[in-house]
Amino acid sequence: MAGSLNKVQLIGRLGADPEIKQMVNGKSVARLSIATSQSWKDKSSGERKEKTEWHRIVIFNEGLVNVVQQYLKKGANVYVEGQLSTRKWKDEASGQDKYSTEIVLQGYNSSLTMLDSRNNSNNSNLVSENKSSLPNDNLNQDNSDLDDEIPF
C-alpha cells in the first residue's frame, strides 16, 4: 500500500453539554456527542424522512479541552476534524470484550470550529491543535461603520 489516510470531518450539533474528566496523568479529556442528520423525501409516501447519526468525539489537547469547557454547550453547532479510532476493553461484570468507535482530536491534524458565536451572529471561530484562537469580542462588532458606497 502506497499510503493511508484516517481523517473524519463532521458538522453537527452537540446532543449534551461536554463531559470533562481528569485522566490518571492529571491531564483533562473532553467527550462530546455530536448529531449529524440527513433528510429525504420518501418516494412511496411523499413524507419527509430524517435519519440522525450520533458520533462520539474525544479531545485530548489541553487547550481545546479548556475551550470546549468554557464555550460549548448542548445544541452548539460545531465542525470537528480528527481521526477515527476504535478502543477495546474487557467488561468486568460480564468478562466480554467491548468496543467503542470514536473521533479523536489529538495532534496537528485535528481541529474544532465553533459555528455559533456568542452573540449568534454568522461569525465562526476556529480553534485547532496547532493554533488556538479564542473567540474574540471584536469578531462580533456591529457592521454599521462600513462604507455605504461600495460599488458591488
How far lies 144's CA from each of 87, 122, 140, 141, 148, in Å?
51, 15, 12, 9, 9
| Contacts with 25 (C-beta within 8 Å, 6 or more apart), sequence order | none
Question: What's 74's DSSP letter?
Answer: T
Q: Tens digits of per-residue pLDDT, 14-38? A: 999 999 999 999 999 999 999 999 9
How many Å from the N-terminal Cα to the C-terminal Cα in the chain? 51
Q: Tens digits of per-residue pLDDT, 55-75? A: 999 999 888 999 999 999 999
- Other C-beta atoms closer than 10 Å to the C-beta of 126 total 13
- Other C-beta atoms closer than 10 Å to the C-beta of 6 total 10
Q: What's the pTM?
A: 0.71
Query: 8-38+50-133: which CATH topology?
Result: OB fold (Dihydrolipoamide Acetyltransferase, E2P) (2.40.50)
Q: Where are the domains of the chain?
A: 8-38+50-133
